């Protein structure tokens, strides 16, 4: 990088590495960098028959349309709200689960709970939403329990009420990923110096005190770095569940940016508008991750770059 | 040690243990119940299941749902395609990612940091759904099996997991092989790769699960080509038919009166998740390592 002289001999010796690099760069340019060139569609009225070169240029018109479209503004709200709700819920649950599981002394019990906890991560969203649909249907277990406990008189259709949609999506994420996300925290807890716990025990500290004063501070760097990595993904957390569980009745709260892109870009064939919505998402994601990183830098926490 | 522990256990700790046990038991029940319930539904008579009240044991046992599922041509096609993409996709992804990780982890390599940066950027910036779709169309990847294999083959995350592992290997091995006159390719195949078996297993598992569970690519790129449908995509269509009919007893064809979309879907779900449920407990060691390496950045 820094004006280091590269001799021909060196290059010749590294022939194999250089050939591989060339292949990997070509592959990367085609599949990861070339789509970025497609962003020019957002500034055109792209028609398949005209291609990139002959389509009419429209400047920022597509973006103007987006931000004057009430649906798009609602879609941004939905994406952000569900993204933040999912992030908070899955984050807190994974940490709580890891800490509590770590407190289990019975080795077999711990192993069993942990093995069970990974299971949902390996199931596709199709399966998870199907299972969730069964559990919440009018003849499903949730309605049955609520009626038996006298909380409800008659079963309700959870998927027909707007108020339930966001909590259902958050629950689905927690159900699927808690055990998986806890892996990292459990590893971090294992690396805490055991002598700290021993010293605390001698001082007469109870389990709560040890969790609060040793475990939590011990995994703090891990929590921070994962938080930063996930903040950039807030807008990405909104497609599969919403697409699979959404229906006409809850459309106003279930539609996310990705679904909007799919509807306009693919079903309506307005590639330019779909691309513009996608660009908006990418730009916001980059701003979020850089901001989170800056914030971590200021507060002296671990950071990504 | 244990005795000592018991002696010191105060009332607060006892309450803690009780609450913790209750919490973790509830966690296990909430995780397992829906899965077991699906198994019970899949083994139950369709019309009877609509009445509700089936929990862990089928009320009217039948294998009709499985017969229906296994007689559907598109599900069989989907199963073939899913197995093919999982096997081929995993093998190719493993070879290419390992090679890339190897190149990037060579300390002497002149373009090492540039190549690394080139791939890390792809983790944060991407073109988005529509430009990608147009690219695949132009490359002739839509309405083809290869759209499942080629575009996602190399990924920065898997590469980083492997690179981190390779960088942790002792340098001496490679140096002595170099003195013996081994080239970079020989060192990769016969020195580095045998030592990387654990991390290869990890990445293979990640890729295989992603391939097995993927459905969106089948819907977006191969909607018009039913010969390239996947198991998950067929399952999604079944789910949609259940959601639209709301689980009411409305058997489409009178020939199969004993099945409903609800129970057929349950059977298809079990067929789809069975291989994963049987395999994952034995692979725990690998994915735990992988997740732990993957989260340690750079």
Q: What is the ipTM of this complex?
A: 0.87
Q: Which conformational region is residue A53 in: left (phi greater than 0), alpha (psi within -120 to 50 degrees), or beta? A: alpha
Does residue A44 lie in a domain region?
A: no
Q: Considering only alpha carbons, which residue of chain B is nearest residue A231?
A: B124
Count: domains in chain A: 1
Tell me the chain B residues in contact with residue A140 when contact means C-beta distances shorter than 8 Å.
52
Share of chain A above pLDDT 70, in %: 96
Spatial CA neighbour of A94 closest among A285, A286, A294, A230 = A230
- Residue A235: pLDDT band by 50, 70, 90 thresholds? confident
Stretch (H or E) spanning A43: none
According to the model, what pLDDT value does residue B298 have? 36
CA distance A268 to A2: 50
Q: Cα B13–B16–B20 angle (5° rounding)?
A: 145
Torsion of CA B200, B201, B202, B204, to 10 degrees: 80
The count of CB pairs under 8 A between chains A and B is: 249
Tell me the chain A residues in contact with residue B50 when contact means C-beta distances shorter than 8 Å.
139
CA distances from A288 to A166, A222, A293, A305, B295 (A): 22, 19, 8, 14, 19
Q: What is the 3-state secondary structure (H, E, C) of A168-186?
A: HHHHHHHHHHHHHHHHHHH
Q: Considering only alpha carbons, which residue of chain A is nearest residue B53?
A: A139
Interval A197-225: pLDDT, tens:
999 989 888 888 999 999 999 999 889 88
How far off is chain A from B125, nearest CA to CA, in Å?
A: 7
Given an 8 Å threshold on Cβ–Cβ distance, is B242 in contact with A140? no
Averaged pLDDT, A107-128: 94
Q: Which conformational region is residue B145 in: left (phi greater than 0), alpha (psi within -120 to 50 degrees), or beta? A: alpha
Does residue A30 lie in a domain region?
A: no
Stretch (H or E) spanning A57: strand A56-57
Given an 8 Å threshold on Cβ–Cβ distance, is A119 in contact with B243? no
According to the model, what pLDDT value does residue A181 have? 92
CA distance A94 to B33: 20
What is the residue-wise DSSP string for B188-242? Answer: IIIIIHHHTHHHHHHHHHHHHHHHHH--HHHHHHSTT-GGG--HHHHHHHHHHHH
The better pLDDT of the pair A2, B237 is held by B237
Averaged pLDDT, A79-86: 93
Residue reference for tokens 């009626």: A147
In the numeric block, which tokens belong to residue B275?
Answer: 């291989």
CA distance A302 to B4: 38
According to the model, what pLDDT value does residue B258 have? 65
Backbone Cα Rg of chain A: 25
Interval A271-280: pLDDT, tens:
999 999 999 9
Does residue A43 lie in a domain region?
A: no
Q: Considering only alpha carbons, which residue of chain A is nearest residue B288?
A: A183
According to the model, what pLDDT value does residue B269 have? 93
Residue A247: how many other CB atoms lie within 10 Å: 13
Does residue A97 lie in a domain region?
A: yes
Helices (H), chain B: 2-8, 11-42, 46-49, 64-71, 73-105, 112-124, 129-138, 156-167, 171-179, 184-186, 193-195, 197-213, 216-221, 231-245, 261-279, 284-295
Does residue A113 lie in a domain region?
A: yes
Domain boundaries, chain B: 67-298
CA distance A282 to A39: 11
According to the model, what pLDDT value does residue B139 have? 95
Chain B from 77 to 116: CB within 8 A of any A CB: 99-100, 103, 106, 108-111, 113-115
According to the model, what pLDDT value does residue A304 have? 63
Length of chain B: 298
DSSP type of residue B45: -
Does residue A123 lie in a domain region?
A: yes
Share of chain A above pLDDT 90, in %: 55
Is pLDDT above 50 for A1? no
CA distance B272 to A290: 40
Q: Give the nearest partner residue to B292 out of A11, A97, A183, using CB atoms.
A: A183
Angle between helices B231-245 and B261-279 (to 10 degrees): 140
According to the model, what pLDDT value does residue A303 have? 64
Given an 8 Å threshold on Cβ–Cβ distance, is B16 in contact with A275? no
Does residue A160 lie in a domain region?
A: yes
Tell me the chain B residues in contact with residue A183 when contact means C-beta distances shorter than 8 Å.
287-288, 291-292
Interval B59-80: pLDDT, tens:
989 999 999 999 889 999 999 9
**Within 13 Å and on the Cβ side, how many CA atoms surround A11?**
4
Length of chain A: 305
- Residue A237: pLDDT band by 50, 70, 90 thresholds? low
- What's phi and psi for A44, nearest 5 deg? -125, 170
Q: Considering only alpha carbons, which residue of chain A is nearest residue B38?
A: A131
B248 touches chain A (CB under 8 A): no
Note the CATH number of domain B67-298. Answer: 1.10.3720.10
pTM of the model: 0.89
CA distance B268 to A126: 11
Does residue A150 lie in a domain region?
A: yes
**Within 13 Å and on the Cβ side, how many CA atoms surround B185?**
5
In the numeric block, which tokens belong to residue A300?
Answer: 């002296």
Instruction: Find the domain containing A107 and state its range.
Output: 63-298
In the numeric block, which tokens belong to residue A55?
Answer: 């389509």
According to the model, what pLDDT value does residue B296 have? 53
CATH value at residue A162 = 1.10.3720.10
Mean pLDDT per block of 10 residues along chain B (298 residues) reads 51 89 96 94 88 87 91 92 97 97 92 92 88 94 96 92 90 84 90 92 92 94 92 89 60 55 90 91 84 62
DSSP type of residue A161: -
- Start-to-end CA distance of chain A, whole Å, equals 18
Tell me the chain A residues in contact with residue B287 when contact means C-beta distances shorter than 8 Å.
118, 183
DSSP type of residue A264: I
């Amino acid at each position: 990088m820094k004006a280091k002289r590269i001799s021909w001999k060196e290059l010749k010796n590294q022939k194999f590495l250089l050939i591989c690099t060339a292949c990997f760069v070509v592959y990367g340019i085609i599949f990861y960098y070339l789509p970025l060139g497609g962003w020019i569609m957002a500034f055109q009225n792209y028609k398949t028959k005209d291609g990139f070169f002959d389509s009419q240029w429209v400047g920022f018109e597509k973006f103007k349309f987006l931000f004057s479209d009430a649906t798009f503004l609602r879609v941004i709200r939905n994406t952000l709200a569900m993204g933040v709700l999912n992030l908070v819920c899955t984050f807190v649950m994974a940490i709580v689960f890891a800490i509590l599981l770590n407190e289990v002394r019975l080795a077999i019990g711990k192993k069993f709970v942990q093995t069970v906890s990974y299971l949902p991560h390996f199931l596709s969203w199709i399966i998870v939403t199907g299972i969730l649909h069964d559990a919440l249907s009018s003849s499903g277990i949730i309605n049955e329990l609520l009626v038996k406990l006298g909380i409800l008189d008659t079963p309700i259709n959870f998927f027909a009420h707007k108020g339930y949609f966001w909590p259902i999506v958050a629950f689905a994420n927690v159900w699927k990923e808690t055990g998986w996300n806890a892996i990292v925290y459990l590893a971090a807890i294992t690396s805490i110096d055991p002598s700290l716990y021993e010293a605390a025990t001698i001082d007469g500290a109870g389990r709560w005190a040890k969790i609060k004063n040793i475990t939590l501070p011990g995994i703090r760097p891990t929590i921070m770095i994962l938080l930063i990595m996930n903040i950039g993904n807030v807008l990405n957390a909104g497609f599969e569940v919403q697409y699979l569980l959404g229906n006409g009745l809850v459309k106003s709260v279930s539609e996310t940016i990705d679904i909007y892109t799919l509807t306009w870009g693919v079903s309506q064939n307005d590639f330019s508008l779909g691309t513009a919505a996608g660009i908006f998402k990418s730009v916001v994601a980059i701003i979020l991750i850089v901001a989170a990183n800056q914030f971590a830098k200021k507060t002296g926490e671990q950071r990504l770059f | 040690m244990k005795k000592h522990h018991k002696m010191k256990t105060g009332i607060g700790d006892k309450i803690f243990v009780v609450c913790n046990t209750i919490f973790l038991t509830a966690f296990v029940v909430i995780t397992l119940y829906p899965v077991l319930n699906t198994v019970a539904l899949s083994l139950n008579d369709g019309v009877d299941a609509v009445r509700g009240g089936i929990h862990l044991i089928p009320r009217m046992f039948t294998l009709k749902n499985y017969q229906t599922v296994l007689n559907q041509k598109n599900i069989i096609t989907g199963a073939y395609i899913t197995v093919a993409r999982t096997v081929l996709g995993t093998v190719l992804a493993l070879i290419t990612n390992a090679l890339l990780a190897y190149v990037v982890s060579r300390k002497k390599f002149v373009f090492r940091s540039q190549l690394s940066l080139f791939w890390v950027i792809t983790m944060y910036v991407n073109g988005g759904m529509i430009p990608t779709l147009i690219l695949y169309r132009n490359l002739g990847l839509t309405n083809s099996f290869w759209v499942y294999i080629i575009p996602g083959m190399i990924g920065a995350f898997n590469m980083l997991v492997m690179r981190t592992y390779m960088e942790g290997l002792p340098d001496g091995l490679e140096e002595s092989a170099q003195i013996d006159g081994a080239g970079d390719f020989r060192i990769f195949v016969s020195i580095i790769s045998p030592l990387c078996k654990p991390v290869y297993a990890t990445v293979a598992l990640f890729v295989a699960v992603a391939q097995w569970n993927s459905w969106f690519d089948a819907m977006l790129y191969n909607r018009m080509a039913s010969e390239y449908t996947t198991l998950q995509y067929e399952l999604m269509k079944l789910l949609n038919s259940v959601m639209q009919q709301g689980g009411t007893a409305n058997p489409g064809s009178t020939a199969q009166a004993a099945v409903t979309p609800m129970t057929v879907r349950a059977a298809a779900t079990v067929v789809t998740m069975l291989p994963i449920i049987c395999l994952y407990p034995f692979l725990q060691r690998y994915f735990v390592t992988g997740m732990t390496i993957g989260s340690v950045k750079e």
